[in-house]
Every structure is written in structure tokens, then in C-alpha cells.
Amino acid sequence: MADVKITALTAISANPVNPATFPMPMVDLLDTSMAASGSTRKVTVNQILGAGGTATLASATITGAATVGTTLGVTGATTLAAASVSGDLTVATNKLKVTGGNVGIGTATPTNYANYTTLTINGTNGGEIDLTDGGTLRGQLFSESTGLTLAAVGGLIKFGAGTGGTEKMRLDSSGNVGVGVTPSAWATVVPAIQIGTAGGFIAAQGSAEVFRIGSNAFYDGSFKYVINGFSSRYDQASGTHSWFTAPSGTAGNAITFTQAMTLTASGELIIGATSGGGGRLWIQSAGSTENVESARITASNTFNTLIAYVVQAEGYNAGATALKIGRNSTTLRSINAGGTVNASGADYAEYMTKASDFVLAKGAVAGIDANGKLTNVFADAVSFVVKSTDPSYVGNDKWGVDLEGDALEAARQLVDRVAFAGQVPVNVTGAKAGDYIVPVVNGTGIKGQAVSNPTFEQYQLAVGKVISIDADGRARIIVKVA
């Protein structure tokens, strides 16, 4: 258009515009003294602010509220090199767009990290982001003295991944977590983590100090799944760990569990039972039928080092020992060995009952009376024996069966071990190899005497023949079998 010469300005009050709502100097649109040439005679507000075009403001300060009808963009259609809004900022339609730089709410100096664009929300007690739906609060992200909290209000939190944020994990309002599945807090266990629609769960219950892991899948040639329950399970409560097994069952049905192995808080490992009887290892077989295998130590199930079977009879002495083994009630066998059974002892002995209350020293010569009982009286003896010193095997061990405590100790005083074969040091000195140890009277008692050339009667009474002299001077004999 042609140049327009402005020849006069009139005060704002002369304009037909309300100065309370439009406080800026304007050309008097009613001035007739202006040169009238061209068609444009005024500059509009839209042209100044760029609402009808593009405007660039070096800076802008708005002390009240600001409303933008379309887009407010830091580098968009309306460009603000620097802007300060001390009131409310409202974007009526479209969007608020920030294409570069850091944004601060509640702070003039937003956090600035290299290579990152940040949004800093600063408040007296931290920052908060509220997410609403139609004015109803649905979720919050806020900071507090103990950390950062993501909260859903009256609902659940979903975690998504991939394009469109497809749900992969969920935290429901009851505190259950589902990974790949909507959590259901299986088996009425309080807040749980459920994994997969055909997977398992992890749960903890503070009131009972229970930690539980389970799965609803079982395998019997093909995978099957339990609908309202689970097929495998591990529990921990009050320091006790429990592992469970279940039969194959039927897909879709609940399964009854069997407590298969337990490690107690005191360190006792129990297999096949819910409670033990002491010690550190308790293995209980599935049934009580004899000759059913209860334990095995094997190499690849090919070379069996040890196999233990169920027996229904005990029969062993209650005395202190390193190992007690029961016996089969039909065959009476306790051990079947594929090789030799080696022992460190030198003689075979048997328990014999005493005729009276007396004490025999190891290696002492004693008698057997007419009733087949041990005696220390020479006149009562019809034959003679030596007390065992270092037995490898001891027979006739029946005196302590089913006894314990004082009764066991009282029964022990009535018996003694007598050597019936093997090597035994005998309490005789001054002997030499080849001698025979012959019993002789010692007051009313019995002692042994070395004889080089015994008579036939002495040979019959002899308890053995000397084969060597021990370091303590005692004669070592080979027990003569009567």
C-alpha cells in the first residue's frame, strides 16, 4: 500500500475503546485531518502480536494469567526468546510444545544435564505430577523425604513396553504384582507376584513369617496346568524350609501336596516326613513294606555303593554305638556285603551271663559253670575261657534290646564278653611262645599259668597256645576252640 502520513495523535480517552481493557496508545481512528491516501488507515492488535500471522518477541512478561488459543511453542508459531508468566498459563486448544531446552516449574533454574532435556518440578516439600481423567485424580508421581513414589488412586498401575505401551506387568490395588498375567493372589496368600498365565507365583506373608514359591504347571509326559491352585511349592516359615511334591493329577483340578523334604531351623534335614526324631538327617520311606528301597547311593544308577531297604524288626542293642541297623523280620539279615567285612579287632567274642556279681579284667582267665554261666570261682568251673580284649565281632548281643537309661546299665553289669576265637592277650607273664596257658586255682579264684609240656588233662583245660609276648610282657594266645 502507499505510505501513510500520521499528522496527529489523540489521547487514548478520545478513542472509542475502553482504556481499562485496552491500555495502550493508539492512532485516533476518527482523526479527519490525516492525509487520506491508500486504503489502510490503522494498525490492528492482531498485527502487533502476530495472532493473525507470525510474531517474534525478544522477551515477554505476563503478570497475570496467559491464555493461548492454539499452540504456544518456544520455537513454534509464536516464538518467545524468553517468557515469564507469574499467573496461570492455559493452553485452550491443541498443545504446549517445548522443542528444546530445559523446563522448570517452581524454579527459574531447571536441572541441566549434558545431552538431556529435563523437566524440573520444585516445591517446598518436593515435586508432584498429578494425572487426572475428566477432573478425577487417577495417579500421582511425587517425591518425598524417603524417595520417589508412583501411586495409582483407587485403581492399579500398569507397566507397558513396545509401540503403544502394551501391558507387560501390573500392580493391583491389593498389592499383587502380575508379570505377563493379571495377578490373582493365589491360594488366598496375601500380596503375591504371579508370573505368566501358566507359570507360578512368589508370595510373602509377614504375620506368619511365610515366604512361598509355587507353580501351577506339572509334567506327566506333557505339560498340564492347574486352574485354581498350583502343583509345585516351596515354603519358608520361622526359619524352617519345606519342599513339597504332588502327584500328576488332572489338568484343571486342585492338587494335594505332600511335604517331601524339610530343613528345620535347628539344621535337621528331614526327607519323606514332616518332622524328625533327632540328629541331622532323617529319611522316611514311602511305606513300611519290607524290602522296599528307602535310600540309595549310586553312580549314574549303574554302580550302587549302598542300598538301604525297609525292615520291620530292629533287634539291636540299645547301647552306645556308631551305627544301628535293623533286620528283615523274615530272613533276619541286617547286612549283605559283596566283599569282605573288615574290622580292626583281633578276636571274635560273645556275651555270656555272669553267675554272680563280679568284675573281670580284659585278658583275665575265667570259668564256665555247669549252668553255662561265667564264674570266677575255680571249684565251680567245668571249663575255662579268656575275657576278650579287642574284639572285631561280638555275638549274643541280646541283653540290651529295648532297654535304656538305668535299666540298660543294670543289664550291662550281668554280662561280659568272652573270646571264642582269634588272638587275645592273656594276663599271664613269664611265658614264652609255644607254651599253653592253663587255668589254676588262685585262692578260691582262677588265674592262668604258662605250661611248656602240658599233660593231657592240662591240655584239655588250656585256654590257648602262646604265639608271642606283647610289649607289656603279657602272653598273646590263639584261643583254643573247646
Q: Write out the three cell numbers for 312.
A: 520291620
Average pLDDT over residues 340-348: 94
The mean per-residue pLDDT over the stretch 29-45 comes to 49
For residue 31, is pLDDT > 80? no
Find the mean pLDDT for residues 53-62: 56
pLDDT of 67 higher than 60: no
pLDDT digits (tens, 9 = 90+) for 146-199: 788 888 887 788 888 888 788 888 888 777 777 777 776 554 555 567 666 556
Instruction: Decide: 470 and 476 in contact? Cβ < 8 Å.
Output: yes
Q: Is the pLDDT of residue 259 over 80?
A: yes
Strands lying side by side in the sheet with 136-144: 128-133, 136-144, 147-152
Q: 244 or 189, which is more confident?
A: 244
Which pLDDT score is estimated for 104?
A: 82
- Taking 60 as the threshold, does the pLDDT of residue 9 lie above it? no
Residue 361: pLDDT band (50, 70, 90) is very high
Angle (nearest 5°) at CA 219 between 216 and 223: 75
Please state which of the ranges 47-61, 263-277, 334-348 shows the lowest mean pLDDT: 47-61
Of 399, 385, 387, 318, the C-alpha closest to 353 is 399
Q: What is the pTM of this model?
A: 0.54
Question: Which residue type sits at 111?
Answer: T
Each residue of 278-303: pLDDT tens digit?
788 888 887 889 988 888 888 777 78
Mean of per-residue pLDDT scores for the chain: 78
Which residues are within 8 A (CB) of 216 and not within 5 positions of it... i.e. 6 or more apart? 186, 198, 199, 200, 225, 226, 227, 229, 230, 231
How much is the pLDDT for 145?
Answer: 76
pLDDT at 437: 97
Per CATH, the homologous superfamily of domain 345-479 is Head decoration protein D (2.40.300.10)
pLDDT confidence of residue 467: 97
Radius of gyration of the chain (CA): 51
Highest mean pLDDT among 197-211, 239-253, 273-287: 273-287
**Would you place residue 97 in the very low, low, confident or very high pLDDT band (cuts 50, 70, 90)?**
low
3-state class (DSSP) for residue 187: helix
Residue 202 contacts residue 192 (beta carbons within 8 Å) = yes
Question: 384, 439 in Cβ contact below 8 A?
Answer: yes
User: What pLDDT score was predicted for residue 359?
Assistant: 95
Q: What is the pLDDT of residue 1?
A: 47
**What are residue 368's DSSP bridge partners?**
374, 383
**Sign (positive or negative) of CA dihedral 184, 189, 195, 198:** negative
Q: Highest mean pLDDT: which of 133-142, 148-157, 351-360? A: 351-360
- In the prediction, which pLDDT does 421 show? 95
Q: Write down the domain spans for the chain.
A: 156-283, 345-479
> Letter for the amino acid at 154?
G
User: Averaged over 244-267, what is the pLDDT?
Assistant: 73
Report the pLDDT value the prediction gives residue 78, as an integer from 0 to 100: 52
